[in-house]
Structure 1
Amino acid sequence: MRPSSHLSLTRGLLLGLSVFSAASALVHEKREVASPNWSRLSRAHPSDKHVVRIGLTQTSLEEAHDLLMNVSDPSSSNYANFWTAEEVADKFAPSKETAREVQGWLTASGIPATRIKQTQNRGWLVFHATSKEIESLFNTTYYEYHNRQTGKKAIACDEYHIPEEIQKHVDYVHPGIRLGPSAAGAGGNSKRNAIKKRSALKAHERRKAHANHARGLNLTTCDEAITPDCIRALYKIPTSRAAAHPNNSLGVFEEGDYYAQKDLDLFFRAFSRNIPNGTHPIPAFIDGAEAPVPVENAGGESDLDFQLAYPLVHPQTITLYQTDDANWSYNTTGFLNTFLDALDGSYCTYCAYGECGNDPSLDPIYPDTDPDGYDGKLMCGAFKPTNVISVSYGMQEYDLPESYQQRQCMEYLKLGLQGVSVLFASGDDGVAGPPGDATTNGCLANGTVFSPAFPNSCPYITNVGATKVYPGYTVHDPESAVYDPAGLSSYASGGGFSNIYPIPDYQADAVAKYFKDHKPKYPYYEGGKNIGKNGGLYNRLGRGYPDVAANGDNIAVFTNGEFDLSGGTSASTPIFASILNRIIDERLAAGKGPLGFVNPVLYKNPSVLNDITNGTNPGCGTEGFSTAPGWDPATGLGTPNYPKMLKMWLDLP
């Protein structure tokens, strides 16, 4: 029988020691493979002191999916009854029983209660202890390690033990088995190469146009350059609109890429004269980020995002989530955690899937001691998330630890519970990853197996693939999946199947129909643990993506003060996000609320989208997946039909 309080455990120390005996301890974590670039040195000195962190198991994780579907499924009586941030944090915080049981075990094992502190969000128990104490506590041996590339030192063990009755309360322990990836990152790539802006700028790759020519473009030449008028015609978006709602700014994420006001003004004068010069996003700068920059330093990604979104949402505002100081925005292998920290204070120390808080071997560390670094504290809960957030960046599942990705995926679920729609670009390399990423051609298992993208495979975000108006076609003809083989690198709409997440229930029928009626010609494997088995190229049981699509090629932009053409799924994403933002404006005007996680609605109502049935998404030496009637892993359910989408969501509660 377990003691009912920490106090009774303290008084009954000898009894506690017998209850939590070494015989009842089981292996909690064990390192399966050696960490690259880390060399084991000597055993940790017994008297060395360490900060020990125990991540407490979160409550209700097993309920999380059903909770999200309860407010996202249009057939639910609770549809759109979203939660507050406080309700979400409380729901998933560790229980009082968990904290009590773990603290009781620690005190019974000889760690004085006066040393043990619980973090404010209840996610961690933290205490100081010597090597001798933690070796006894976890029934293990700690060694010092040295990273040959970075020079960093750390202590770790090969495995550690926790009493059987306590294991369910503990997520993971630090120091434990983790040493972090090599200096180049888990996938062997630097952040500059790993975090890909999902755009295929065509500068220096094909002919440039002049601004004067661009002003003369009309709907008859949308196969040459996509302007705001072309986008409105493709998706039947009216130019007139209701007044913008004050609580519905469109959120746009940027990192390591910055807009120039001069580029925006040039674009407004050329294509959107109703938008005044000087119009700029509302700054929501995170951990020392800054913007805008002089025009000669402008980034093609930021300019593209804003030049696509403003003509669709104006007079609605745009909020810029510019993330990380200049040092860290290029020099870490982690991705998005500091952004999520700033939206949700509890995420800074939230534990799930063996990860608590930010990973010091992957994520930025603040205050930043670099001469140009941000010397403030990590920003936690600094900004309220907007109703829609567009993210045109991404990596591959291969690049980061599975636990890192799963913990982050849960945060998108939590944002969905609060009514936030999060959209990600699906990638620009078809069924592959970026060349030079994990392998020479961006593919797995000797360059043959398809490489799913991160965080795209998370089932709680909306992935946006890319379409194109092919030469000789008009905006009144059906679009095709993007495939642009010209230039220095080919470009195809990212899509495929996860090696981490199974097919979610809201998508199951659509994926099953695709396999039944349009079975891909490639061999497959079943389950992410069987990558490449029997010659398989993709996981037949994985979450499929993208979910939807929009135009993403030959986009008219101004960058570095010059007119050019751009493209990528990072063009598709702000287009789709802007349409959702406009629909929310209409719902708010009608006394309704935001949309939240939109996938369950769209998969039950695919007729509100324009089905794309032409094209493939090549990669890994194959043609990739083919488009097909219904959902497919190249263009998802299809592109927006604004009038149909608006009517559907205005009819919903």
Structure 2
Amino acid sequence: MGFFSSFTGTLSLVLSCLYLCVVAESGYAVVERLNDVPDGWIKGSAPLPSQPMRLHLALHQENAHGFEQRVVDLSTPGHPDYGRHMKRSDIRDSVRPSDQALDSVLFWLTSKDIPYETLDVHGNWITFTVPLYQAEALLETRFHNFYNTETGATVIRTLEYSVPEEVYPYVHLVQPTTRFGRLVSQAEMPQFKPTAATFEELSANCSSTITPDCLRELYGVYDTEADPDPRNRLGVSGFLDQYARYGDFHDFMQLYAPNRTDTNFTVVSINGGLNLQNASRSSSEASLDIQYAAALAYNSFATYYTTGGRGPAVPNVGESDESESTNEPYLEQLHYLLDLPDEELPAVLTTSYGEDEQTVPESYSNATCNLFAQLGARGVSVIFSSGDSGVGESCITNDGTNRTRFQPTFPASCPFVTSVGGTYGIKPEKAIGFSGGGFSERFARPQYQDESVGRYLEELGDRWDGLYNRNGRGIPDVAAQAANFLVVDKGNIIKIGGTSASGPAFAAIISRLNAVRLEEKMPRLGFLNPWLYSLNQTGFTDIVDAGSIGCRSGPGPQVPYASWNATKATMADLRSLVSELHNALNQKQPDAANNLMSRAKRTLLLQNALIPTPSTSPEVIALAREILELGALASIRQTDAPTFTRYYQQLQPFYDLERDSSNPGNVDFKTSQRSKITGLYMLLLLSMGDSTTFHTVLEGLVEEASLKGHSVEDDPYIKYPVELERNLMEGSYDKVWRETNSERVPSEDFALFSNVLVGTIRSEIADCSEKAYPSLPISNAKNLLFLESEGAVIEFAQQRGWVLRDGRIYFPVEPEAAARSEKDILVASGTIIENAIGYARELETIV
């Protein structure tokens, strides 16, 4: 089991909702308001007025801080109250709002024709179901269907809601209303789509695939003699139509836990959650969670809590509706569990779902986190996977400012849950790149983390300043294996990964500890974190190799080397990484190259070698330059021009050393690919039409070459883009075409950017053709556009939106084009004829 002694700064600048005490209608005040429809959602039609809405209304607690401090006290070893868990009645008394608040809100609801007997009051929450038209009148709002552009899911939500001024001081939130967060199964993330296990993987050892036996051996999990105890229930959360199948479970036990073949689990339905044993869709998340939790635990009463969080309709037998409709799965599950008698609560609850913290209204995350604290107070260890996006996917805030910030995952960021990150490998065990982590923007750092996080921040210094909340709750708390787990789903053995695997494995170990404690007449562990941090890593392995990355997708800029849990690197590490990078590029393995580059750049960062300094050793400078050059080449082969440009810019300080004839430090430049990288950059500038920067680079090269008595065209890597630029200035497109298809192309990498350049020229000719002609024969267009066949012309025409009819291409006529004089058209036609058609005919003759 790995204990992350370091945390990354992960901050989502998120205030999804603005809490405004402004008057909406006469006598009403706005509780929550969104400035705009959240990213990734589209506002649709109005739902049916009769659509049932199940609403959860939270009232402000009178002393929420005092209650949460009490939870920490009874969970902290050495405190007089340690292990004295609260009863259900104690919790209700502690969180109950004032009589005035409760009476005022109940009077308001019943005055709006909601029968008192339909109001479910638990602590400071009131739950009720009303038709949509009644909910709209109650909250002075209008609901709409909203569609998620990524998943196609539909939810019924609003952008603001209000309550009467006389109850406004008491109402904390009403949901689901403005909550657009998208609950995600970590095992269903795109990078972890389950795949069928190959024969080699089925017979591989623990360094390639993970089974329960591998985890037992790695973490020293051996059978104990504790008797079964109904107080030691092991709960597994199920959402999003994930069904735990008994058949798959027993097949898995026979294969990978033969000493557990008599083990079984029960299914508990919450809010209409289904238990479809023959559903056609994959349930890989449910299979992973229940199979590993039960296989690793000992004599636990495993329970799968299937919670309905989608629409109530089931249109076809055995299948559920894909629309999420109005339900709120977290609140439904939490209220159900907190209403259970003390003896029926699970001792451990593991959940492998989460969402970006910034996508959840702050009032909702605070209220939900308080419910997790209530479970902890009653002796439940609440465990969440930390997420599978590193420090964030796009790392762009959704508050309208579009700032670059790290993004943590909720509910893992709640200080009253235990967040489990991911590792891989055996000797040594390393932090896996996708493992979620960082610092919460919403929740302050709890006292139990002060010492560990303080040490980390002191070592971190000012790195990542402005990208995370230094005062936030750090995640993850612990880590476990998270890759290449073998699972049985729908009768097939599949391979799957993610922190979805880490959470259930850690939960099973806590369940084992509880079994021993109960046998010894000790209380269950309950809320774990104060105890975990008090151990000062005793019983844990400090994971110091590798780290998490992120900020690699979406519209925002990449944050270089975004990671945490940094390691001290050696020269051997650098040399090994360079060798592996060469192999990955030679074997055309882009994913492997990207992963290696992330590791290499972290290593350079730790060596302070990203920018050469007088104190940097010559060998490190040479290796750093070579790594960045390999990164530049890898980006070209993935046609990623922005990344290539960043690498080119990072390489300039190294190339400045190469230009320095005195070469202080005697750095070896024999392996330098400066000419090749520079030539590729010049070719990229041509394809972008940036002649100004092209000539700036060229002038510097000419000056440098003249000082050495050379010509820039002595270098084939530089001569190639110079010759192309010369042809472009002449308008000799046919020569450009011939040059890009000749043996004079210096390397395969140049051919990639050459194709981009030809595409740019083709687009310019197409633009000019649209202005010059009403139509052209397809055969002429083939030559004009430097295309290989008429089929290619047709495909290009369709992409441009041109009309194809009777063997001709008809260009769209814009209003301003229709008003042009005949003289203007002749001028444009002359330009085309002069610069292109003649060359096209010449090219046809050559071909």
- Which of the five TM-score ranges fits, normalised by the shorter chain? 0.5 to 0.7
Q: Following TM superposition, by how much is the alpha carbon of 1:298 offset from its aligned partner in structure 2, in angstroms?
A: 4.3
Q: 1:167 to 1:321 in 2, by over 3 A?
A: closer
Q: Which moved more, 1:460-469 or 1:287-296?
A: 287-296
Q: Label 1:210 to 1:560 Cα distance change in 2 as closer, same or farther (>3 A).
A: farther
Structure-to-structure mapping, 1:226-245, within 5 angstroms: 226-245=210-229
1:623 aligns with 2:608: no
Amino acid at match of 1:209: F
> Could you tell me whether the CA contact under 8 Å between 2:30 and 2:160 is conserved in 1?
no
Contact in 2 for aligned 1:497/1:543 (Cα 8 Å): yes
Q: Which residue of 2 aligns with 1:545?
A: 475
Task: Give 1:234 deviation, angstroms.
Answer: 1.1
Highest Rg: 1 or 2? 2
State the 1:250 CA deviation. Answer: 0.9
1:596 aligns with 2:542: no
- Map Cα deviations across residues 266-317 of structure 1 (whole Å, 9 max, x no partner): 322222211226x431121223323352386441112112221222214323
What residue number does 1:209 align with? 199
More helix as a share of residues: 2
Distance in structure 1 (CA, Å) of the matches to 2:351 and 2:407: 20
Cα deviation digits, residues 351-375 of structure 1 (max 9, x gap):
xxxxxxxxxxxxxxxxxxxxxxxxx
Residues 201/323 of structure 1: CA separation in 2 closer, same or farther (3 Å cut): farther
- Which of these residues, 445, 449, 452, is aligned with residue 408 of structure 2? 452
Percentage of pairs with the same residue: 28
Partner of 2:21: none
Instruction: Kindly state the Cα deviation for residue 55 of structure 1 after the two structures are TM-superposed.
Output: 5.8
Q: Which residue of 1 aligns with 2:424?
A: 468
Alignment check: 8 A CA contact 2:36 2:159 kept:
no
Query: Which residue type is aligned with residue 336 of structure 2?
Result: A
Q: Alpha carbon RMSD of aligned pairs, Å?
A: 4.5
- After TM superposition, the structure 1 = structure 2 runs for residues 202-281 of structure 1, keeping only pairs within 5 Å, are 208-209=198-199, 213-214=202-203, 217=204, 221-255=205-239, 256-276=241-261, 279-281=263-265
Contact 2:33 2:159 in 1 (8 A): no
Following TM superposition, by how much is the alpha carbon of 1:179 offset from its aligned partner in structure 2, in angstroms? 9.4
TM-score using structure 2 length: 0.52
Q: 1:518 aligns with which of 447, 454, 460?
A: 460
C-alpha separation in 2, matches of 1:73 and 1:402: 27
Residue by residue over 1:174-195, the C-alpha shift from the partner in whole angstroms, topping out at 9 and shown as x without a partner, is: 7xxx9934xxx725x6x6xx45
Do 1:257 and 1:299's aligned partners in 2 also have CA atoms closer than 8 Å?
yes
The Cα of 1:447 is off from its aligned counterpart by 8.0
State the shift of 1:77 in Å.
0.4
Counterpart secondary structure, 2:474: strand
Instruction: Pick one of 279, 294, 306 that aligns with 2:290.
Output: 306
8 Å CA contact retained: 1:258, 1:302: yes
The structure whose RCO (Cα within 8 Å, separation 6+) is larger is 1
Within 5 Å, which residues of 2 pair with 1:3-402? 29=31, 31=33, 33=35, 56-99=59-102, 120-121=121-122, 162=165, 169-171=170-172, 180-181=177-178, 186=180, 194=184, 196-197=186-187, 208-209=198-199, 213-214=202-203, 217=204, 221-255=205-239, 256-276=241-261, 279-291=263-275, 293-294=277-278, 297-324=281-308, 327=320, 331-332=324-325, 334-345=328-339, 384-402=344-362
Q: Is the 8 A contact 2:249 2:291 kept in 1?
A: yes
8 A Cα contact 1:550 1:575, kept in partner: yes
TM-score by length of 1: 0.66
Letter of the 1:602 partner, please give it: L
Q: Which residue of 1 aligns with 2:496?
A: 566
Letter in 1 for 2:35: V
SS of residue paired to 1:62: helix
Compute the displacement of 1:569 (Å).
0.5
Aligned-pair CA distance for 1:593? 1.2
Q: 1:583 to 1:205 in 2, by over 3 A?
A: closer
Q: 1:382 to 1:146 in 2, by over 3 A?
A: farther
Asked if residue 584 in structure 1 is aligned to residue 501 in structure 2, the reply is no
Structure 2: distance between partners of 1:611 and 1:55: 41
Q: Does 1:607 align with 2:604?
A: no
Moved more, 390-399 or 146-155: 146-155
1:415 matched to 2:375? The reply is yes
Distance 2:391 2:424 in 1: 18
Contact 1:425–1:573 under 8 Å retained in 2: yes
Mapped to 1, the partners of 2:158 and 2:288 lie a distance apart of: 45
**Is the 2:195–2:495 contact (alpha carbons within 8 Å) kept by the matching residues of 1?**
no
Specify the alignment match of 1:479 in structure 2.
429
1:224-281 Cα distance to aligned partner (Å, 9 max, x none):
112222111211112344232232121111122123333223322222211226x431
Corresponding residue to 1:498 among 440, 456, 460: 440
SS at match of 2:522: coil
Aligned counterparts of 1:258 and 1:586: Cα–Cα separation in 2: 31
Instruction: From the superposition, tell whether residues 209 and 447 of structure 1 become closer, same or farther in structure 2 (CA, over 3 Å).
Output: farther
Work out the number of aligned pairs and report it.
Answer: 503
In the alignment, residue 544 of structure 2 is paired with which amino acid? T
Q: CA deviation at 1:63?
A: 0.8
Kindly tell me: are residues 334 and 449 of structure 1, through their superposed partners in 2, closer, same or farther at Cα, counting changes over 3 Å? Answer: farther
Preserved contact between residue 116 and residue 125 of structure 1 (Cα < 8 Å): no
SS in 2 for 1:338: helix
Letter in 2 for 1:624: A
What displacement does 1:59 show? 2.7
List alignment gaps of at least 5 residues for structure 1: 1-24, 42-50, 346-379, 470-474, 484-491, 525-536, 631-653
The Cα shift of 1:30 comes to: 6.9
Contact kept, 8 Å, 2:421 with 2:499, in 1: the verdict is yes
CA displacement 1:563-618 (0-9 Å, x = unmatched): 23221111111111001100000000001110111100111112221110011111
Aligned amino acid, residue 547 of structure 2: T
Residues 121 and 305 (structure 1), Cα distance of their counterparts in 2 relative to 1, 3 Å cut = closer
Contact (CA 8 Å) 1:284, 1:322: kept in 2 or not? yes
